[in-house]
Amino acid sequence: MTTNEDQAVPPLAAVPIGALIEVRDLTVRFPTPRGPIRPVLGVSFGVPGSRTLGIVGESGSGKSMTLRSVLDLVPPPGRIVEGEVLFEGRDFLQLAEAERRSIRGRGIGIIFQDPMASLNPVLTVGDQLSELLSAKAGLGRKAAWGRAGELLDRVGIRSATARLRSYPHQFSGGMAQRVMIAMAIGAGPRLLLADEPTTALDVSVQDQVLALLEDLRLETAMSMIVVSHDIGVIARACDDVVVMYAGMLLERGAVSEVLRQPRHPYTRMLLSTVPTLEPNVSRRRLETIAGQLPDLATLTHGCPFAPRCAFARPACDDLDVTLDAAPHASACPFV
């Protein structure tokens, strides 16, 4: 007879053909004294098995809120008012709360933006990891502690067994992020959500974290959604990308296509702000995007980027902001 102490982490379930997760027309609303705002408005995308989707845009564009919405973790008083999140063919938003809690961690793992804010400062890393493994992977205390050490070792933390007894403040920012990655993959999820996984890390540590995520994706065949304001991170980590602005999707396609031949003016301006080491363009003047994100409380219709767009025309004020049907899709019909 097999006991909890002897159980291993369950293997990954077979990924169905097609999209592992499909988000359809997702809209989030927050009430405010000035009227409701919608930081996520009609967002749709899919992620096939074993691929990584990037969500990129300026701070405040709705990227992180979209990621939280996938797991129905919108902070109150906000709530999802429209849309579906189909995970392995079932609408996550319509499942009973007990089943959703089971999927969080075991089916879908998440790495939050600030690891130090996500870890409990009064519990050791080992206690937090083993508690999660007991809850999500069904392991007994001894097995969970052993698996926690294996996970810390796998994410590149030296003297992993000894570091289980360390507290979060005893880890550097990069090491704390590795702990968060260990917690996110502990129960063998099929999908990993990463919210700004390299924010506040120096360049060399950023590269190590991204390389680790890629290795883990290849080892487990899981899919990933990576949110970042840094196009370099998206280029390094992702197969496909959606570009967000004011809660809406303005462009979608393979990373190689979108970065080489951006179709939407906003994507073009984002790329113009990124330095390059290519010899023929290394001395070009870096651009800045004039203006600022629109006030979501007053945003009613038309293209939200029009006030900042060099290609804007009167018709943009009444434009229905939807992506066209092309594989490399844009919401701008004029460029």
Please, which pLDDT band fits residue 307 given cuts at 50, 70 and 90? Answer: very high
CATH code of the region 117-186 = 1.10.150
More reliable by pLDDT, 49 or 279:
49
Q: What is the mean pLDDT of residues 97-107?
A: 94
CA distance linking residue 241 with residue 231, whole number of Å? 10
The pLDDT assigned to 175 comes to 95
Whole-number mean pLDDT of the chain?
90
Q: Is the peptide bond before 77 cis (omega within 30 degrees of 0)?
A: yes
Q: Give φ, ψ of 102 to 5 degrees.
A: -65, -40
Q: What is the mean pLDDT of residues 104-125?
A: 93
Q: What pTM, to 2 d.p., does this model score?
A: 0.90
Q: Are 125 and 164 in contact (CB under 8 A)?
A: yes
Q: What is the mean pLDDT of residues 169-184?
A: 95
The pLDDT assigned to 301 comes to 86
Residue 312 in this model has a pLDDT that exceeds 60: yes
**pLDDT tens, 188-242?**
999 999 999 998 888 889 999 999 999 999 999 999 999 999 999 999 999 999 9
Q: Give the start-to-end residue ranges of the domains of the chain.
A: 20-107+189-330, 117-186
- Provide the percentage of residues in the chain whose pLDDT is more than 90: 82
The pairing of strands 79-87 and 37-48 is: unpaired
Can you spell out the DSSP letters for 303-324? -TTGGG-TT--GGGGG------
The pLDDT assigned to 15 comes to 33
More reliable by pLDDT, 329 or 1:
329
Q: What is the mean pLDDT of residues 90-106?
A: 95
Residue 272 in this model has a pLDDT that exceeds 90: no
Please, which pLDDT band fits residue 156 given cuts at 50, 70 and 90? Answer: very high
Residue 148 in this model has a pLDDT that exceeds 80: yes
Give the pair of three-digit tokens for residue 258.
């979108």
- Provide the percentage of residues in the chain whose pLDDT is more than 70: 90
Give the pair of three-digit tokens for residue 252.
């979608």
> Which fold does the domain 20-107+189-330 belong to in CATH?
Rossmann fold (3.40.50)
The pLDDT assigned to 277 comes to 47
The pLDDT assigned to 158 comes to 94
Residue 25 in this model has a pLDDT that exceeds 90: yes
More reliable by pLDDT, 180 or 291:
180
The pLDDT assigned to 286 comes to 54
Q: What is the mean pLDDT of residues 130-149?
A: 94
Please enumerate in sequence order all residues whose Cβ is within 8 A of that of 5, keeping only pairs 6 or more positions apart, or say none.
139, 140, 141, 142, 143
